[in-house]
Structure 1
Amino acid sequence: MSQPYTMNRSAITLLKALDDLVGDDFERFVFFLCQRDDKKIPKGAVFKKSQVVVAEKMIETYGNQDALQITIDILKEMKNNNLARQLEKQIQQQQKESDQNAVPVEKQRLAHESRETGQPAGVKVSVKEQEPDQYQIVMEKHKDWLKTRNSFIVEETAKDKKKIRLNDIYTDLIITKGESDAHDKVLMNGDSKLSDETRINCNDIFRKNEEEIKTVLTKGVAGIGKTVSVQKFILDWAENKANQDVEFLFVLPFRQLNLIEADYSLHELLVYLHPQLKGCDSNIYVDKKILFIFDGLEESRIQLSFRKGHVSDVHTKCKVEALIINLIKGKLLPSALIWITSRPAAANQIPSEYINHVTEIQGFSDSRKEQYFRKRVTDMNEANRIISHIKKARSLHIMCQIPVFCWISVTALQNCLTHIHKEEIPTTLTEMYSHFLLVQINRKNEKFDQSHEIDSKLLLESNKNMILKLAELAFKQLLNSNVLFSEKDLEECGINVQGAFLYSGLCTEIFKMESPFFRTKVYCFVHLSFQEFFAALYVFYCYLCKNLAEVKMFLPKTKVVEGVPLDVLMKHAVNEALKSKNGHLDLFLRFLHGMSLESNQRLLQGLLPHTMSSPESVEKIKQNLKHGQKKNINPERWLNLSHCLIEMKDDTLQQEIQTYLKSKKKSKKLTLAHCSAMANMFQVSEEVIDELDLKKYNTTEEGRRRLIPALRNCRKAILADCHLTKTSCENIASALQSANSPLRELDLSDNDLQDAGLKLLYEGLKSLNCKLEILRLSNCKLTTLSALCLRNSSLRKLDLSYNNLQKGIDQLFTGLKSPNCKLDTLRISDCKLTAESCKSIGKALEKSPLRELDLSCNELRDKGMKLVSEGLKSSHCNLNLLKLSDCKLTEQSCPGISLVLRKANSSLRELDLSDNDLLDSGIKVLSDGLKSSECVLEILRLSGCCLTSQSCSSLVLALHSNPTHLTKLDLSYNHLGPELEEFISLKRTSDNKLEANMDHCGELRIARGLKKYAFKLTLDPNTANTRLSLTEENTRLLLMTEHQPQGQDHRPKFQYVTQVLSAESLSGRCYWEIEWHQKASIAVAYKSISKRGRRNDCVFGCSKKSWSLDLSGSVGDLNNCSVMHNNKIMVSSCSKFNRVAVYVDVPAGILSFYTISSDPPTLTRVHTFRTTFTETLFAGFGLKNVNDSISLIHF
């Protein structure tokens, strides 16, 4: 028999269906719901209520399954068959899964009772009936056991085991909602800014407003305090201080789960891991509120395949993997809470669909760092000295965000400040870790050998054998990304268990044999960073010993390895580290470069066969770091090279950058290394950068991409036209996700992002840390906007202009209708929108928060405008600005616009209707709206609307009737009479308020379309190549075999390329047409274009000074054409045409090329350039072969 839906599951399914109904659709649904005859719901209970309230009322009235069926019935009555079918399929699929996999909780409980009590199934026997106080006794024993295991921090050093009460030293860590995408090295790259806005307390991770949270994933880098946070959570629960609604808490560390190979039931597993439960049955906890804590996902060696079979009974024996998966999926103990901790790189092992909430531990804030040191160092003066020293060394201060590094620093610095000279106190990571090594070895000697060695060389020499074995282990396991080692791993490097125990301050035994249940020991270094230090030590030792076979991956394959210079080894090590996607060799590389300094070799001379002093080699190493030329490498990896230079105590890049930033002209060209170092400098700066404009930096495209990580610490970033790549998008998304991100404005215009790039950016845009308010994505070759969710976004302004969004516009406006959408400005100019697109636009305008909307340069036509007007007339539409220029509107659109102007409480302040052929008849209708007292329009643009003197009386009357609001009126490029001009002059003198533009008017302006901007051109013989023949009053061009006779004019001509410029310069708006034969080039160019030589800078379209449409002759019945600028082909197309046209709007920076086909004549735009013209423009023409020709058409 099929299992019925639970209340919770039905409610979720119903609520999701209602959430898909937005605006009018949801109101219609409520109307139909209230009309039902059976168990009618009162209108007052659901009218104008939220989807949540309606869903609750339906389930209360009809029950779970009937509520779902009624929803389907109403959807079908509403003709919303797609949603109805979708809901039916969802219910059927869930029912199928339920039949196959789920075991009802009640059935499971009854079966268990039958086994445990011997009573027939269904006979209830309470725990208290079995043993009156058993539950309370077990609970007390369980909490006491957890308190015993979690009350102390055990610091196991070579000297001793030190138990420290957790409540005495616990320092609050910053835990934030959401995540910052950081891999395990982000903190080491200087991202030390912590979020205040989304901070939560460790004990509150299962509380999120009113929502129920079942599964929480907590991320954090190595050593950041994940396990200590878990320990504190458990201790507070066991001491009855927090989360007392949780009745049972079970801890399942992956370190322990890795070691289990046999099959166990969940109950058996819990009893083994929590021995105080021995002898208890599962009734103790099965129906209680339980929390399972899975600590250390990154340490898991278990393959978690979430597609495997289901387990729903606590007594079913299976692999540990199946128990973990089914607990997380909710198939096993479905009401249980789950808490998983993980390093970021391993977190994706759990599919996001099974995670309700993500938090991130970000370590110590600056104040908490000091608090930690003062708790650990009882001598106030000594604590102050340590804090002061760390603050001076920026890289050390950043690393102290990680709690375990604070411990390493205290251990090393307490010794250094007491026993060595001030100038030798460590300031780099390599020095700090070298001193920590010396301290730990000395403590080992004191404990086991009852000796204390002051001479560091003798100290290391006496322990050299074991240290180098540990170094070998570290290196080999690091290459395989292993952080946990078995006894077999140790034995392969010649290490026995006793040896590892003696050096437990460096290599800690994680898990000891506590019962026969665990048959394996696992080891790791005290911290991942120490493994990387040891790995670097091993590589450097092998190099000095010429044992290069061990480090062959860092050597060139073609050279004789015995004579490889150190700088070559380092260069190949850099290349290997740059290949890493997650940066697992970053810190290793920093340590390796630190060891190249003779001063650090002297610290470790008891381990190394000799020190190596080669200033020339060290200088080459530095130069290699500064001049890395590889492309398509993640900028985060390049940032690490700056840290490598710091380890080598080279700050020349920083000094050069400071000089560059202080200079006014900033003319010096920045190298790639400069850009990486600058990105790091900006990123770790105490002050947030107001604006980062990549175009302002004199560097290469790759150099600009290297600057992208600086986005983490700036308010406004301009990355327009920077040739961004997939990796760039990932870095930008990373910056958007970074904790406490200050980024509020981002311009990515004119980059070839495409939909794939937007999808990558979405990972950052959806983050809780992202507070972006302004986003510009114009001309990014986008087609779909499914990855741009506006429902819960902080975005206020969005520019999507110049993308082909004809198919993606519905997705955008669906988000706009969400009550959570904050968008007030939307620009979708020239997005290939049509009348069909206007359906969703009109609907969205009825309820969207938009205040400014730009629909310019879309072929909406009158049909589309009618749909838009319906939305504009809504009382809920509060647009202040509307741009509709060049939307192919006619006088038929004016009645709808007029109604919008005179609607009650109209909010429209600015309206642009330029470049639409509205005619006098349209303006007459529009003026009716302008007359209305409801009209508050302040700016009206009617440039190029085919208006004549007949429009004057209409506009004059409107201005007389409603004189108080209009301040700007653009009537340029029309053919107006003197009447309006006289009226406007009168208004100017009377109240000095109205500004009117009537420039460029004349009889020609009443022509339809672009022909109203027709401009008469002639060819300039003084610029023509000598093989060009100019005829028909310099309006026809022909390419000849021979050079043509020349006059006495010595002004520069095109010397080798067969081109010519126009005699007239271009200004304002200009349009011209050309007929051509065979091959030709139609261009617009600055007069300063080079005319000497055969180089690209002379050829139209091949430099920054010209833009061209190349016509390459016919192929069958078709013609080929391509658009070029700066030697890049923007677009190429093939169609049949016999004419071409050019339109340029110089002030607006717009240049468009068109083809004109015949039968009937149709203007088709090939490409539009948008730029800022910096010099005087001229038309240009070029021919390719003899007898090619061009003719200018005059109207």
Structure 2
Amino acid sequence: MKQGKMADHLQSSKMRKLKSSLQQKFQCVFEGVARAGNPTLLNQIYTELYITKGGTEGVNEEHEVRQIETTSGRQAESETTIKCEDIFEISLQEPGNMRNRLPIRTVLTKGVAGIGKTVLTQKFCLDWAEGRANQNIHLLFPFTFRELNVLRDKQFSLIGLVHHFFSGLNEIRSFEHIQVVFIFDGLDECRLSLDFDQTKALTDITESTSLDVLLVNLLRGTLLPYAQIWITTRPAAANQILARYITVVTEVRGFTDEQKQQYFRRRFQDETQAIAIIAHIKASRSLYIMCHIPIFCWIAATVLEHIIKSKSRDLLPQTLTEMYIYFLVVQIKAKSLKYDGKSEVELQWSPTNIEMVESLAKLAFDQLLSGNLIFYESDLVQCGLDVDAVSSYSGVFTQVFREEPGLYQDKVYCFVHLSVQEFLAALHAHHIFANFGVNLLSTVQSSADTTPKKDFYQCAVDLALESQTGHLDLFLRFLLGLSLPTNQKLLKDLLTQTGSRSEVHQKTLNHIKQRLNEGLSTEKSINLFHCLNELKDRSLVDKIQWYVNGLQGLSTTLTPAEWSALAFLLLSMDLDVFDLKIYQASEWVLLRLMPVVKSSKKALLSTCNLSEGCCAPLGSVLSSPSSNLRHLDLSQNPIQDSGMDLLSSGLQSQGCRLETLNLSICNLSWKSGGFLSSVLCSQSPSLKHLDLSNNDLQDSGVEQLSAGLRSAGCRLETLSLSGCLVSEESGWSLASALTTPGSSLKSLDLITIFTSLCSSDFCVHSLDSNTAYRQLHLSDRTVTRVPTDINYPLHRDRFDYWPQVLCCNALSGRCYWEVEWQADWPGEKTRGVDIAVSYRSIGRKGEGGECGFGFNSQSWSLMVCYGFYCFRHNGNESRVGTFTASRKGRVAVYLDYPAGALSFYRVSKEQLIHIHTVNITFTGQLFAGFGVWSGTAVTLK
């Protein structure tokens, strides 16, 4: 056989051996008590996960359960979702990337604990081994960092490391002309030192070195540069690898709502049973949210299957605490059946089992307070655990507690999920207090005689609220749930009853409600409502539900606790669109309801008098990996440049997924053009639609924005700059951006009062003397207030009380005119002139508001006062701008009737400075009008 064919035969032979090995290793997963001998086929139980392209920069320090509770189970239509087999697809790279015709080299996949990252890698390997997908790959080598930690002090070459873990491939000495993929699962458990700056270069796959040097060079690409690498990690550890060595970032977000149902239908073959279980989980918001995590779906399935088999459907768990109590009971029963020879009906709480659970609970508590998720034999011994006993029970207790090979050849232990550790930690704290009167949560220990039981739970609430990251949130829910006598009864052989409901329960409820009224952050308040759920108290939420159902009573009379209850309730509704004005158009209310903004797809915040104070929290929402927000309308809020600066920080975040942003009439200047340019130039901008109309960006702001539009990564498709004072000079900058190769811009609205008006749009008004008030003197195009009546003829159109006049010609299309005003200003509170537009149907007779410009639905008026402007419509008045007080000035009015926009500008040295714009759907002919008060005059220019 020729040398080339021999090499191909050798490669094919080794590929078959490797596939056979991986198929045997990954074809089964172990659920329930499977390690006792009931493996489940991975292909039979596997449910597609919700995987998206993209990630967030920095580290999210929030408790992982808090993160998933703000993530909707609904799939965002615009997100790039990925299937397991497509993890190395070239199309995942950024458009415009010069490497987009080359294979993806390194993929980093993030996801919280229990979200399914490990099973995802196993499914990828199994599909390859069974010939289902990715057959272009010749050799696939999956590793876990736990396995590599064991070899930390040993030296290997890359080829030697492969031989160590895949002994059937010893004949392979080179990877030349072979497509190789390396998978490294669990970067967050890595105990190797990955120093990308100081580690020496290595290019020879046969040269031995330490594992950290080997891994750094593999990731750098100096070693085996054409290999492909896939790394999985919890988000907090992702920054161990420098961004420049990662080609694509993906994120596993667990199950969508549809995928949750698919999981339970696959787990329960009986369709009627599956439907009943899905309906039960859906009925409890807290359980349904947690099913976003695949491992919790398994916990729930384990419990519900046991209860249904025992025909005790009236005992179905309603809360998280009940779910985890039943989970523990199921595991103890399984252990009793396997190792103790007990039957299903016999007592499972033997002294040995009680001692084991108490020791595991102590370990969970001690390590939770220390922030440890992985433990060693010394930790077990310190908590009174018999290491040999733990090992002997591992066939069953692996469902609660796992044993793994670890660092320095020691065994490493961990709980199956952080939530299990937190439940057992709460169980320990409760057990110690109930049985011995010791409050482990207090820095000052006291006896049972001097520490009232109510203080124990109040202390736990206060301690959890001190945390900024929410790391005790779930612990607190479990602890309070364990305070209920009904839950204690389920663990009656393990826990001592702590007292009557009236003594403890009501005082705990009162303390939580008192804390809710202290103005806590909304995230902390929402966790307290989860706690109230565990205590089975819905009084606050039910009260707010009544308000919402009637759409009444939502006002400043609500207490902080009630506003938090509203946020909790709205989150349970999975709103697609959040409209602040439905509840109350104020910045304070927005801040209380910010988690609802975060969970919604569209937030309508226009005309809510919001300032820069809301922009930093909104920026945090935009940068959050769990945010669903895709459309944000902030129009007609005076956030100004300072607010835009704060907002741009969130918009530049890699985690930002916002696509539509409306900043029309937000009092922005040229500075905001620079902030937005930085957003468009950021690493992965998501914005597709941007409305900046009627802001004073001027030429300098637009030129800065144009630089962002020319950026290779810019994805903007529509841009509105109407009314932004853009000159012909800036038009050339925009034209340059539009012709940039690869530009995605499809629509540009450049209507401005400089570039788009033709001569017919400049209005020449004629004053209608038949409408003029008797003390208004009309001379050519000037209106002056005089002290005595003028002998005008009687006419039905004349204003008989209000000092006003209308013009003759009706307005349509686009119209522009200027008005020069004069005022003597006898006092600072003196009223000046009104510059208005009105329907012809405005009232004329009497002093009622139906006749005054801006006091009714028929007219819109800008009032010039001493040093400031006010806008009025339908009796609602707001201050919209200031100027240096003087005896005269000029105002420009621009009406775009088809677009429904009315704008006012201050004319200063031939420049227009935006004052105010209002958007209206006009329904009839409009006429210009003026209100001229004592000592004032107006002249049409």
TM class by smaller structure: 0.7 to 0.9
1:596 CA drift (Å): 2.4
Residue 564 of structure 2: aligned partner: 676
Seen in structure 2, the aligned counterparts of structure 1 residues 443 and 826 have a Cα distance that, compared at 3 Å, is: same
Residue 366 of structure 2: aligned partner: 476
Residue 975 of structure 1: aligned partner: 781
What is the distance in 2 between the residues matched to 1:465 and 1:318? 46
Quick one: higher RCO (CA 8 Å, sep 6+), 1 or 2? 2
Q: Which has the larger radius of gyration?
A: 1
Residue 439 of structure 1: aligned partner: 330
Deviations 1:1081-1123 (A, max 9, x none): x677999xxxxxxxxxxxxxxxx988998xxxxxxxxxxxxx9
Residue 225 of structure 2: SS of its match in structure 1? coil
Residue 157 of structure 2: aligned partner: 265
- For the pair 1:204 / 2:79, whether they are aligned, the reply is no
1:801 CA drift (Å): 5.8
What is the distance in 1 between the residues matched to 2:364 and 2:729? 64
Seen in structure 2, the aligned counterparts of structure 1 residues 881 and 1105 have a Cα distance that, compared at 3 Å, is: closer
Seen in structure 2, the aligned counterparts of structure 1 residues 270 and 688 have a Cα distance that, compared at 3 Å, is: same
* Matched AA of 1:600: N
1:153 CA drift (Å): 0.8
Work out which of the residue numbers 646, 649, 653 in structure 1 matches 2:540. Answer: 653
Residue 342 of structure 2: SS of its match in structure 1? coil
* Matched AA of 2:24: T
What is the distance in 1 between the residues matched to 2:587 and 2:632? 26
What is the distance in 1 between the residues matched to 2:211 and 2:711? 44
Residue 1018 of structure 1: aligned partner: 826
Residue 220 of structure 1: aligned partner: 111
> For 1:527-926, what aligned pairs fall within 5 Å after superposition?
527-545=417-435, 548=438, 550-552=440-442, 563-578=450-465, 580=467, 582-615=469-502, 617-628=504-515, 635-668=522-555, 669-685=557-573, 688-689=576-577, 691-693=578-580, 696-697=583-584, 701=588, 704-718=591-605, 720=608, 721=610, 724=613, 728-734=617-623, 738=627, 743=631, 745=633, 747=635, 749-751=637-639, 754=643, 757-763=646-652, 767=656, 769-772=657-660, 774-775=662-663, 778-779=666-667, 782=672, 784-789=675-680, 793-799=686-692, 809-817=702-710, 821-827=715-721, 839-845=729-735, 848=738, 882-884=751-753, 911=757
- For the pair 1:252 / 2:143, whether they are aligned, the reply is yes
- The answer as to whether partners of 1:1013 and 1:1069 remain within 8 angstroms in 2 is no
Query: TM-score, normalization: structure 1?
Result: 0.60
- The answer as to whether partners of 1:156 and 1:505 remain within 8 angstroms in 2 is no
Seen in structure 2, the aligned counterparts of structure 1 residues 800 and 312 have a Cα distance that, compared at 3 Å, is: farther
Seen in structure 2, the aligned counterparts of structure 1 residues 536 and 1017 have a Cα distance that, compared at 3 Å, is: same
- For the pair 1:290 / 2:184, whether they are aligned, the reply is no
Seen in structure 2, the aligned counterparts of structure 1 residues 294 and 618 have a Cα distance that, compared at 3 Å, is: same
* Matched AA of 2:202: V
- The answer as to whether partners of 1:536 and 1:588 remain within 8 angstroms in 2 is yes
What is the distance in 2 between the residues matched to 1:817 and 1:435? 59
Seen in structure 2, the aligned counterparts of structure 1 residues 303 and 564 have a Cα distance that, compared at 3 Å, is: farther
What is the distance in 2 between the residues matched to 1:727 and 1:312? 47
- The answer as to whether partners of 1:293 and 1:338 remain within 8 angstroms in 2 is yes
Residue 75 of structure 2: aligned partner: 194
How much identity, in percent, do the aligned residues show? Answer: 31
Residue 957 of structure 1: aligned partner: none
Seen in structure 2, the aligned counterparts of structure 1 residues 1020 and 192 have a Cα distance that, compared at 3 Å, is: closer
1:203 CA drift (Å): 0.5
Residue 982 of structure 1: aligned partner: none
* Matched AA of 2:381: E
What is the distance in 1 between the residues matched to 2:699 and 2:380? 62
Unaligned runs of 5+ in 1: 1-124, 851-875, 886-896, 898-907, 912-925, 931-939, 950-971, 978-991, 1006-1011, 1025-1065, 1074-1081, 1088-1103, 1110-1122, 1124-1136, 1157-1161, 1181-1190
Query: TM-score, normalization: structure 2?
Result: 0.75
Deviations 1:179-206 (A, max 9, x none): 4898622334562212455332200111
What is the distance in 2 between the residues matched to 1:296 and 1:485? 16
Deviations 1:815-869 (A, max 9, x none): 33579754434248679x8x8xx7454221466499xxxxxxxxxxxxxxxxxxx
Residue 417 of structure 1: aligned partner: 308
What is the distance in 2 between the residues matched to 1:973 and 1:647? 78
Work out which of the residue numbers 148, 152, 159 in structure 1 matches 2:28. Answer: 152
Residue 607 of structure 1: SS of its match in structure 2? coil
Deviations 1:93-143 (A, max 9, x none): xxxxxxxxxxxxxxxxxxxxxxxxxxxxxxxx96867x7843333222222
Residue 31 of structure 1: aligned partner: none
- The answer as to whether partners of 2:364 and 2:421 remain within 8 angstroms in 1 is yes
Work out which of the residue numbers 276, 285, 291 in structure 1 matches 2:168. Answer: 276
Unaligned runs of 5+ in 2: 92-99, 768-777, 784-808, 832-858, 896-900, 920-929
What is the distance in 2 between the residues matched to 1:1142 and 1:773? 35
> For 1:956-975, what aligned pairs fall within 5 Å after superposition?
975=781
Work out which of the residue numbers 44, 52, 69 in structure 2 matches 1:168. Answer: 44
Please report the RMSD computed on the Cα atoms of aligned residues, expressed in angstroms.
4.9
Residue 235 of structure 1: aligned partner: 126
What is the distance in 1 between the residues matched to 2:814 and 2:49? 62
Seen in structure 2, the aligned counterparts of structure 1 residues 1169 and 426 have a Cα distance that, compared at 3 Å, is: same
Seen in structure 2, the aligned counterparts of structure 1 residues 736 and 808 have a Cα distance that, compared at 3 Å, is: farther
Work out which of the residue numbers 375, 395, 404 in structure 2 matches 1:511. Answer: 404
What is the distance in 2 between the residues matched to 1:217 and 1:998? 56
* Matched AA of 1:315: T
Residue 18 of structure 2: aligned partner: 142
* Matched AA of 1:167: N
Residue 399 of structure 1: aligned partner: 290
- The answer as to whether partners of 1:817 and 1:844 remain within 8 angstroms in 2 is no
- For the pair 1:491 / 2:381, whether they are aligned, the reply is yes
* Matched AA of 1:259: V
Seen in structure 2, the aligned counterparts of structure 1 residues 724 and 482 have a Cα distance that, compared at 3 Å, is: farther
1:535 CA drift (Å): 1.4
Seen in structure 2, the aligned counterparts of structure 1 residues 314 and 156 have a Cα distance that, compared at 3 Å, is: farther
What is the distance in 1 between the residues matched to 2:320 and 2:533? 9
Seen in structure 2, the aligned counterparts of structure 1 residues 170 and 1107 have a Cα distance that, compared at 3 Å, is: closer
Residue 181 of structure 2: SS of its match in structure 1? strand
What is the distance in 1 between the residues matched to 2:913 and 2:648? 28
What is the distance in 1 between the residues matched to 2:549 and 2:8? 80
Residue 465 of structure 1: SS of its match in structure 2? helix
- The answer as to whether partners of 1:1072 and 1:1141 remain within 8 angstroms in 2 is no
1:1142 CA drift (Å): 8.1
- The answer as to whether partners of 2:281 and 2:288 remain within 8 angstroms in 1 is yes
- The answer as to whether partners of 1:177 and 1:358 remain within 8 angstroms in 2 is yes
- The answer as to whether partners of 1:605 and 1:611 remain within 8 angstroms in 2 is no
1:335 CA drift (Å): 1.1
Deviations 1:370-424 (A, max 9, x none): 3333333344544343233223223222322322112111211122234365443
What is the distance in 1 between the residues matched to 2:160 and 2:142? 14
Seen in structure 2, the aligned counterparts of structure 1 residues 997 and 436 have a Cα distance that, compared at 3 Å, is: closer
